[in-house]
Each structure stands twice: as structure tokens, then as C-alpha cells.
Amino acid sequence: MKDRAPVPPPHPAKDVTEHVGYRLKQAAAALRGAMDKALREHDLTVPQYSCLELLDQQPGLSNADLARGTFVTRQSANVVLRGLKDTGLITQATSTDHGRALPVHLTAAGQQRLHTARGAVYAIEERMIKNIPARRLTALLADLDAMTAALDG
């Protein structure tokens, strides 16, 4: 194999743990673990909770909309929605007047489960950001949005 010139890192870093992508993944893994644990007490998974949140904000979303909004494949979203339907937390129309997308809605039980689970999830976010000053939190959110836009574009 030919000798290759080293690839310079995008910013000064002594090892992989100082790269932004590594730190984002580390934070995401910690958040996911905390949410998995907390949501288990509410008989929900993270994707199920995410679907309930989206449906609370935007009733009538389709399976495809929910898949995009929860960062899972359509097949995975179908499994998540089936579980939510089977436990009576959502309803889905069997037909629609326009298009093929069948709108999904929260039931009263779904709204109640979301309300109790939301408290647990918000407590996790509070713990996660408690040592970040408000002015830095605003900048952090803007920076995360800029990173997302740089990769989506």
C-alpha cells in the first residue's frame, strides 16, 4: 500500500474524542439512554414518545410525516404506530377524502400518557442543560441548527 499523506482534521484535536461528531454522538447516546430508562416507566419507547409529541403539536400527520419527524424509516414508523394503536393511544383513519395518506390522531388516553411522560422527558432535558447559561443555550441551539443546515444543503 502506498504511503499516504495524513488527512488534516477539520479543527485542532488531540484524538477522536475531541471531534464535534464524536461529542454529538456521545451526547445523543447519553440522552437516548436517559430517555429509554424514563420512558420505560410510562410503557413507551423513545420513537413512540416522539410520535405522541408530534401528533400533539400537529394532529393528522401521516405515517410518512411521522417517520420523517421521528428520524426512523417508514417500516419502523409502521411498527411504532401499530404499538400505539394496539394500546389505544392513537387512532388512524381507515380512508381519506384526498390522497393516500391516512391521518393519525391522539386519543384521550394518548394525550394523558404523553402528559405524564413529557414531565419525565423535560426533567431529563433540564438536567442536561442546567449548567449551560441561557445566553449560551441560545447560541448552542443556533449552532446545532447551522450544523444541520450545512449537512442537509
Q: How confident is the prediction along the chain (153 residues), in pLDDT tens digits per residue?
A: 567 888 888 878 888 888 999 999 999 999 999 999 999 999 999 999 999 999 999 999 999 999 999 999 999 999 999 999 999 999 987 766 665 677 999 999 999 999 999 999 999 999 999 999 999 999 999 999 999 999 996
| Dihedral in degrees, nearest 10, Cα atoms 119, 93, 81, 114 | 10
CATH of 29-152, one of 3.20.20.150, 2.30.30.60, 1.10.1040.10, 1.10.10.10: 1.10.10.10
Tens-digit pLDDT profile for residues 92-121 = 877 666 656 779 999 999 999 999 999 999
Rounded to an integer, what distance in angstroms lies between the CA atom of residue 2 and that of residue 148?
36
For the entire predicted model, the pTM comes to 0.85
Domain ranges for the chain:
29-152
